[in-house]
Chains A and B, each alone.
Chain A
Amino acid sequence: MEGLTMTDSGNLLLDSIRDAVIMLDKDGFVGYANPAVTEIAGYTQQEMINKPLSILYEAKEDLIKAEYELEQARKKGKFISEGWKSKKNGDLFWGELTIAAIHDNEHQHSGYSCLLRDTSARKQTETSLRQSEEHYRLMVETIRDYSIFMLDCTGHVLTWNDGAKRNSGYTSTEIIGKHFSTFYTTEDLGDGKPERELRIAIETGKYEEEGWRVKKNGSIYWASVIITALFNEQNRHIGFSKVVRDLTERKENDERLRQSEERYRSLVEQVTDYGIFILDEKGRIASWNEGAKRIKGYTADEVIGKYFSIFYPEEDIMNGKPAHELKVAIAEGKYEEEGWRLRKDGTRFWANVVITAVYNTSGVLIGFSKVTKDLTERKENERALKQSHDRYRRLADELKITNEELSYTNREMEQFTSIVSHDLQEPIRTIKSFLLLIDMKLDAEQNKDLKVYIGKSIGAANRMRELIQNLLHYSQLGKDELITEDVNVNMLISQAMQNLRSSIESSGAKILIENDLETVPGDKVQLGQLIQNLLGNALKFTSDTEPYIKITAHKEDNHVKFAISDNGIGIAREDLHKVFEIFRRLNTEKTYPGTGIGLAICKKIVDRHKGKIWPESEKGKGTTFYFTLNEN
Chain B
Amino acid sequence: MNRYRIILVENDEDEQMFMREGFESSGLFDIVAQVDNGDVLLNYLEEHKNNLPDIILSDLNMPGKNGMDIIEEVTSNPEYKHIPVIITSTSSTRSIIDKCLAAGAIDYVVKPDTFIDYLPFVQDLHRRIEQRSILK
B-binding residues in A (CB < 8 A): 414, 417-418, 421-423, 425-426, 429-430, 432-434, 436-437, 440, 456, 583-588, 591-592, 596
Among listed B45-53, B58-66, B77-85, interface-contacting one: B58-66
Answer yes or no: B12 CB below 8 A from chain A CBs. yes
Chain B, residues 1-45, CB within 8 Å of chain A (1/0): the string is 000000000001011001000000000000000000111000000
Q: Kindly state the separation between the CA atoms of A414 and B95 in the bound complex, as whole angstroms.
A: 8
Known: A429-B114, A583-B61, A585-B64. A456 touches B14 (CB 8 A): yes
Most buried by A among B63, B65, B113: B63
Answer yes or no: B116 CB below 8 A from chain A CBs. yes
Q: A584-B66, A588-B64 are in contact. List 17 more A-B contacts (CB 8 A).
A: A417-B93, A418-B95, A418-B96, A421-B90, A421-B96, A422-B61, A422-B89, A422-B90, A426-B61, A429-B111, A430-B14, A432-B113, A433-B114, A436-B116, A585-B62, A587-B38, A588-B63
Answer yes or no: B76 CB below 8 A from chain A CBs. no
Chain B, residues 85-116, CB within 8 Å of chain A (1/0): the string is 00001111101100000000000000101111
Q: Which A-B residue pairs are the 6 nearest by beta carbons?
A: A587-B64, A585-B63, A422-B91, A433-B114, A425-B90, A587-B39
Chain B contributes a number of interface residues (CB within 8 A of A) equal to 26
Residue of B nearest to A419 (CB): B61
Are B91 and A425 in touch, CB under 8 angstroms? yes
List A contacts of B91 (CB < 8 A): 418, 421-422, 425
List A contacts of B38 (CB < 8 A): 587
A430 to chain B, nearest CB (A): 7
Are B113 and A429 in touch, CB under 8 angstroms? yes
- 9 examples of A-B residue contacts, CB within 8 angstroms: A414-B95, A418-B91, A422-B60, A429-B114, A430-B115, A433-B14, A433-B114, A585-B64, A587-B63
Q: Kindly state the separation between the CA atoms of A51 and B39 in the bound complex, as whole angstroms.
A: 137
Q: Kindly state the separation between the CA atoms of A433 and B90 in the bound complex, as whole angstroms.
A: 13
Are B114 and A421 in touch, CB under 8 angstroms? no
Residue of A nearest to B63 (CB): A585
Known: A418-B93, A587-B65. A426 touches B12 (CB 8 A): yes
Q: Kindly state the separation between the CA atoms of A430 and B111 in the bound complex, as whole angstroms.
A: 12
Residue of A nearest to B13 (CB): A456
Are A437 and B116 in touch, CB under 8 angstroms? yes
Known: A421-B91, A585-B63, A588-B64. A433 touches B12 (CB 8 A): no
Main secondary structure of the interface of A (DSSP, over half): helix
B6 to chain A, nearest CB (A): 22
Residue of B nearest to A430 (CB): B14
Are A421 and B92 in touch, CB under 8 angstroms? yes
Q: Kindly state the separation between the CA atoms of A434 and B18 in the bound complex, as whole angstroms.
A: 12
Q: Kindly state the separation between the CA atoms of A423 and B96 in the bound complex, as whole angstroms.
A: 13
Residue of B nearest to A585 (CB): B63
Q: Kindly state the separation between the CA atoms of A425 and B115 in the bound complex, as whole angstroms.
A: 12
List B contacts of A591 (CB < 8 A): 63
Q: Kindly state the separation between the CA atoms of A411 and B101 in the bound complex, as whole angstroms.
A: 19
B90 to chain A, nearest CB (A): 4
List B contacts of A588 (CB < 8 A): 63-64
Known: A418-B96, A456-B14. A429 touches B115 (CB 8 A): yes
Residue of B nearest to A578 (CB): B69
Known: A417-B93, A430-B14. A586 touches B115 (CB 8 A): no
A44 to chain B, nearest CB (A): 124
A607 to chain B, nearest CB (A): 23
Q: Kindly state the separation between the CA atoms of A425 and B92 in the bound complex, as whole angstroms.
A: 11
List A contacts of B18 (CB < 8 A): 433
Most buried by B among A414, A423, A587, A591: A587
Q: Kindly state the separation between the CA atoms of A425 and B62 in the bound complex, as whole angstroms.
A: 14
Known: A429-B113, A587-B39. A421 touches B93 (CB 8 A): yes
Q: Kindly state the separation between the CA atoms of A422 and B59 in the bound complex, as whole angstroms.
A: 11
